[in-house]
Amino acid sequence: MLYHIDIRNFALIEKLSMDPGQGLLILTGETGAGKSILIDAIGSLSGSRVSKDLIRHGCDSALVEALFRVDKARIPDDILELFYQSEDDDGSGEVDIVLSREIQINGRSFCRINGRMTTLSNIKMLSSCLFDIHGQHDQQAIFQESTHLQFLDRFAGQAVQAGKDRYLEQLIRYKACQKALKELGNNPAERARAIDVLTYQIKEIEAADIKPGEETTLTERQRLLAHAEKIQEALSESYERLSGDDAGSILYEIGSVLSALSNISRHARQIDEIAASITDALDTLQTASAEIRACSDSLDIEPAELDQINNRLDLIYRLKKKYGGSLEAVLVFLN
């Protein structure tokens, strides 16, 4: 839809800014009030012929500029490429388009799309997707074959949008590859250099023999080995305090408590309940003690392993830096 229009020094109009808003807009006024001038100004954005006679008397140039906001799906891909960048996508599915036409006193006119100079033919193609000006004998967009696919997409709506988006992504990649191949084909020396670089890159990645998830596994192992001595000391101390041979171990002391309670349990029923709770705690601590011992025994540490892991992670870091920032990106680059 048309969101805003600015007109400067066009025919009788010195300065006009208007926000049409949504819905139906009706311009009324007596003959000669300037309704047709406003339509002619908008029509200049459709790529129609303009004359320097349209410049307001005493001025050097005239300018018409309009802001449209439309569903991106309405714009054919070849026209969309004229002004749309993927980083401009805000996720709404809509795009803002600013068309402008400047007429100079020497008879020349300049066309712009979103502030960038463009050709009259491009303005014609794009404006045909944005608006129609209907007169008694004007052709309507419905009779133009170039608009039929747009109508079909709009009729299908969201049912086809996801598939179309995937298609557009692949089309962009395909055209980028086509462009790269064309550039290489025009320069044999550049093509040979590119082949050498790609061959080296493929061999470098293949030689690394990267596995999915390898970096996470290595990082965890690196952290363990870097603190292995501290971990081993803590495990040994914990095991000794729980299950040591001396009479002061935690399990020994709890056993003594249970023995004392057993001697008096026949005199009070609640003692049995307390003893049962302590027995459960003792079982839990015995299990924990066994797990601590097993964890300590499993710390199979080779002095050279940490250096090997550091070297491997350094290689992975270099590959990530060169080929995409993550191991997944490196593997995608290879494939």
Q: What is the pLDDT of residues 126-138, one digit of tens each?
A: 888 888 776 554 5
Nearest to 66 by CA among 11, 131, 125, 120: 131
Query: pLDDT averaged over the chain?
Result: 82
Nearest to 80 by CA among 205, 159, 168, 8: 168
- The pLDDT value given to residue 278: 85
**pLDDT band (50, 70, 90) for residue 6:** very high
Report the percentage of the chain scoring pLDDT > 70: 93
pLDDT mean over 8-30: 84
Q: What is the pLDDT of residues 164-175, one digit of tens each?
A: 888 888 988 898
Strands (E) in 106-215, as ranges, are 109-113, 116-118
- The pLDDT value given to residue 199: 86
Query: Which residue ranges make up each domain of the chain?
Result: 2-154, 191-335
Residues 64, 44: contact at Cβ < 8 Å? yes
**Cα separations in angstroms, 177 against 180, 183, 188, 291, 325:** 5, 10, 17, 57, 22
Q: What is the pLDDT of residues 253-283, one digit of tens each?
A: 888 888 888 878 777 778 888 888 888 888 8
pLDDT for 31 beyond 90: no
Among 3.30.365.10, 3.30.1330.30, 3.90.550.10, 3.40.50.300, what is the CATH number of 2-154?
A: 3.40.50.300
What is d(CA 254, CA 281) in angstroms, rounded to the nearest whole number? 9
- The pLDDT value given to residue 101: 93
- For residue 95, give the 3-state DSSP assignment: strand
pLDDT mean over 77-97: 74
- The pLDDT value given to residue 180: 78
Q: Which two tokens stand for residue 19?
A: 């926000």
Pinpoint the alpha helices (H) of 187-304: 188-208, 214-226, 228-243, 250-264, 269-298
Identity at 5, one-letter amino acid code: I
pLDDT for 314 beyond 60: yes
Q: What is the phi/psi pair of residue 173, to 5°? A: -65, -40
- The pLDDT value given to residue 136: 53
Q: What is the pLDDT of residues 202-227, one digit of tens each?
A: 888 888 888 888 888 888 888 888 88
Residues 6+ away with beta carbon under 8 Å from 43: 133
Q: Which two tokens stand for residue 144?
A: 């133009």
What is d(CA 144, CA 134) in angstroms, rounded to the nearest whole number? 14
- The pLDDT value given to residue 7: 92
pLDDT for 187 beyond 80: no
Give this prediction's pTM. Answer: 0.41
- The pLDDT value given to residue 99: 92
Q: Percentages helix, strand, coil for the chain, rounded to the nearest 5?
A: 60, 15, 25
- The pLDDT value given to residue 64: 93
- The pLDDT value given to residue 67: 93
More confidently predicted of 160 and 57: 57
What is d(CA 114, CA 95) in angstroms, rounded to the nearest whole number? 11
